[in-house]
Amino acid sequence: MDVGPSVGAMGNRLQHSTSPYLQQHAENPVDWWEWGTEAFDEARRRDVPVLLSVGYAACHWCHVMAHESFEDQATADYLNEHFVSIKVDREERPDIDAVYMGATQAMTGQGGWPMTVVLDHDGGPFFAGTYFPDQPRHGQPSFRQVLEALVDAWTNRGDDVRRVAGQLRDHLQATASLAGGAVDAEAISAAVDLLADEFDERSAGFGGAPKFPPSMLMPFLLRHAQRVGTSPGTSGARARTMATRTLTAMASGGIHDQLGGGFARYSVDSGWVVPHFEKMLYDNALLLTAYAEWSLTADGVELGAEVVRGIAEFLLNELQTDEGGFASALDADSDGAEGTFYVWTRAQLDEVLGESDGAWAAELFEVTGSGTFEHGTSTLQRTRAIDDPNRFARVRQRLLDARAKRTRPARDDKVVAAWNGLAISGLVTAGLALDEPEWIDAARGAAELLWRIHLVEADTEARLLRTSRDGAAGAAVGILEDYACVADGFLALAAATADPRWLERAGLLLDTVLARFVAEDGGFHDTADDAETLIARPRDPSDNASPSGHAAAVRALLSHAALTGSGVHRGAAERALAAGAQLIERAPRFAGWSLVSAEELLAGPVEIAVVGRPGHARDALEGAALRRLGARVVVADRSVAGIGLLEGRAEVDGQPAAYVCRGHVCDRPVVDAAEIGLAQS
C-alpha cells in the first residue's frame, strides 16, 4: 500500500490554522489534513478511505480521545497507513458538521462530539460514531478495533461500502424539505401545553439528564405570559410558572458560577447540580438576554438582575478579546481534569475563609463532607437566601481571589460572527434593562470588529467570514446564522443608540440573506447558493445549542421591518415562519427562537419610539416601554433620519413623548408612562 510521506517530511498541516482546535492537534503523530479537495484527491491516489474527525476546542471528550488515540504513535501509524485523516473544527465549519452529524444520527440514533465519520472518495459516509476508547469498555469496541474492521470492509466488501454511502447520501438530501402550516394563537397555546407535558416538575427545565439550559424558550414563555395574561388555569399562567421556576433553578444550581458569573454548558444531572464545566459564549449570550428580560418582570426583578450582572461581568472579564470581540469558550479542564478550577472542599473553604466564615459558606453553597462532584469536592450552589449581604460580598471576593491562583481553563479565543452577534444583542438588552451604558459600549466595540474584520464586499454584496483570531479573519465563509445573528445584533444597536449606520449595515446583510439563502418553500438554507458543494445542502430550522439560522433570520427580518416599516422583510419573515410550522407543532422544545418571533407577530409586533430630552420623564417612558417584552424600543433626543420608526417623531408640548405602534400604525403619542398601558401581569 502507498502510505505517503510521513508527518515529519510533510510538515504539520494544522500549525498555521486559525482554529485553536486544529492547533491543539498540530503536534499529533497523525498525519492530519484540513478539509479540502486535496485530502480527497490524496485518498483517491492511495485508494484509502477518509477518516473525518470533528470536534471543538472546549470539548472534554475530544481531549480524552486525542490523548488516548491521536497522541498514541501506534494508533497514528495505523491511521497514516490506512486512511487519509481530516480534522474539522465544528465551530469553524458548522456546515460540514451539520451534514455529517445528520449521517451520524441516522446511523446510530444519537450524536455528539468528538464525531468520527468514515467517508468514500466523494464524501459519502459509510460509518459514523462519536467517542471510541483506546481499549474495549462496557461493550464498546476500541478505536483500533473499529479502524481494523473499516479497513477490512473497504478492502474486501467494497460493494457494501458503496451501497451504504449511497443510501446515506440519498437520506441526507431527502431530509432537506420542510413542511409548512399556520402559526397562529391556537398553535402557540398548543406549544405551551406540549412544553408543560415535558416540564420537569421536580427540578424545573425540560427533559432529564443531561439537562441543557432552555435559553431560547425562556423569552418565548415570558412573552406568552405577558400577551395572554396569567389568570389561573391559562396557558399564560403555565408559561409564567415554567419560566420562573426554570430561571430560578438554573441561577441557584451548580451550572451557574456562583462566584465568577456565567453558566456552564449543561448539567450532567437533572437537578442542575453538576455541570459539564465548559463555558460557551453562545450559552451566556442567550442567557444574558433571557435573564435581562426576566429582570423586567415582577418575578425576576431581583434575582434576574443579579444574574445579569454576573453574566455581563463574565463576558467582559473573561471572554472579551483585545480587539473588542468575544472569545468562543472556556475549556472544562484545567490541570488535566474537569472542573478543578471551580469546585471546593470544606477544608479549602476553611483554609481561605477561616472556620467561622468557612462553615457559613459551606452551608450557603452546599459544600458537603462527601462532596457533590468527584473526589470529595462540591460544586457551588445557592438555594438559600442570603441572610447577610455584606458577609456574602466579602466571602465571595475572598473565594474569587483564592480561585484566581488556580490554573485557569484554556480559552478558545477565536471570534465567531454568529455568537458575537448574540453577545451584542444580549449586552444591549441587558444594558437597557439595568441602565448600564458600559455594556452597550462593549456591544458596539464587538460590532465594529465584525464590520471591520469579518465583512468582505463581493461586488455589491455584503459577505461575511465566519471566524477571526487576533484580528485576522479565517477562511471559512459565513453561514445563515452568521448573517442573521450579526444583523440582529446590529439592529439592537441601532435601536439602543439611534445610530442609523447600524440599521444600514444590518440591511446590507439581510439583502444577502434574501438573495442567497432563501429556499423555494419560503424557508432558508443554511449555506449560500454559491457555497462549497457538500453531499447535501444543510438545512435545519430547529434550535440546538444556539438558534438555528432559519429562526435567527426570521427574528432579524422582523426587527428590520419593525424599525423601517419594510413589507418585504416582514413578508419574508412570515413566509419562513410558516415554512417551519411543523417544528413548532411537533417539537416546540427545539423551536424557541421561532416561537419568540411568532409571539411578537401575534402582538403586532409592538414598536415604541420615545423622543425627548434626557431626564426623569423620558427615563420613565423608556422604562415602561422596555417592560413590554419583545417590543422594538428606540429612544432619541429628536427625530432621526434613516430610522423609520423615529422619523417625524417629536416632543408633545415640550415634553418627552412615546409613540406606541403595531406594524407602524401608531396610537396617539403619550407623555405619561402609565398611559403606555404595559403593566406586567
User: Average pLDDT, whole number, for the chain?
Assistant: 92
Q: Supply the DSSP symbol for 274.
A: S
Q: Whole-angstrom Cα distance, residue 514 to residue 522? A: 10
CA angle 489, 494, 496 (to 5 degrees): 95
11, pLDDT greater than 60? no
152 Cβ contact list (under 8 Å, min separation 6): none
Three-state DSSP state, 466: coil
- Is residue 51 very low, low, confident or very high in pLDDT (cuts 50, 70, 90)? very high
* pLDDT single digits (tens) 628-667: 999 999 999 988 889 999 999 999 999 999 999 988 888 8
What pLDDT shows up at residue 452?
96
Q: How many CA atoms lie within 13 A of 75 on its CB side?
A: 20
Ranges assigned E (strand) in 90-158: 115-119, 125-129
4, pLDDT greater than 60? no
Q: Is 561 exposed, middle or buried (0-12, 13-18, 19+ CB in 10 A)?
A: buried
Q: In this structure, is the dihedral angle defined by the CA atoms of residues 430, 431, 435 and 439, taken in order, positive or negative?
A: positive
User: Of the candidates 62, 70, 51, which has an alpha carbon nearest to the alpha carbon of residue 125?
Assistant: 51
10, pLDDT greater than 60? no
What pLDDT shows up at residue 7?
45
Q: Whole-angstrom Cα distance, residue 200 to residue 189? A: 19
- Is residue 16 very low, low, confident or very high in pLDDT (cuts 50, 70, 90)? confident
Query: Quick one: average pLDDT of 193-219?
Result: 96
Report percent pLDDT > 90 for the chain: 82
User: Of the candidates 607, 409, 583, 425, which has an alpha carbon nearest to the alpha carbon of residue 506?
Assistant: 425
**Residue 468 pairs with which residues in a beta bridge?**
415, 473
Higher pLDDT, 161 or 196: 196
What pLDDT shows up at residue 12?
74
What pLDDT shows up at residue 679?
34
Q: Is 112 exposed, middle or buried (0-12, 13-18, 19+ CB in 10 A)?
A: middle
* pLDDT single digits (tens) 271-316: 999 999 999 999 999 999 999 999 999 999 999 999 999 999 999 9
Entry field: residues in the chain: 681
Provide the 10 A C-beta neighbour count for residue 55. Answer: 28
* pLDDT single digits (tens) 503-560: 999 999 999 999 999 999 999 999 999 999 998 999 999 998 899 999 999 999 999 9
End-to-end CA distance of the chain: 73
Q: Whole-angstrom Cα distance, residue 152 to residue 83? A: 12
Q: What are phi and psi of 49, to 5 degrees?
A: -75, 170
Q: What are phi and psi of 457, to 5 degrees?
A: -95, 115
468, pLDDT greater than 60? yes
8 Cβ contact list (under 8 Å, min separation 6): none
Alpha helices in 109-157 (DSSP H): 143-156
What pLDDT shows up at residue 106?
87
Q: Whole-angstrom Cα distance, residue 383 to residue 579? A: 42
656 Cβ contact list (under 8 Å, min separation 6): 610, 611, 612, 613, 615, 617, 618, 621, 671
* pLDDT single digits (tens) 420-462: 999 999 999 999 999 999 999 999 999 999 999 999 986 678 9
Ranges assigned E (strand) in 234-307: 266-267, 275-276, 279-280
Query: Quick one: average pLDDT of 177-188?
Result: 84
What pLDDT shows up at residue 677?
65
What are the cell numbers at 604?
A: 403586532
Type of residue numbered 33: W
pTM above threshold 0.85: yes
What pLDDT shows up at residue 158?
82
562, pLDDT greater than 70? yes
What are the cell numbers at 346?
A: 470544606
* pLDDT single digits (tens) 227-282: 999 999 999 999 999 999 999 999 999 999 999 999 999 999 999 999 999 999 99
Three-state DSSP state, 53: strand
* pLDDT single digits (tens) 581-624: 999 999 999 999 999 999 999 998 999 999 999 999 999 999 99
Q: In this structure, is the dihedral angle defined by the CA atoms of residues 586, 588, 594 and 599, taken in order, positive or negative?
A: positive
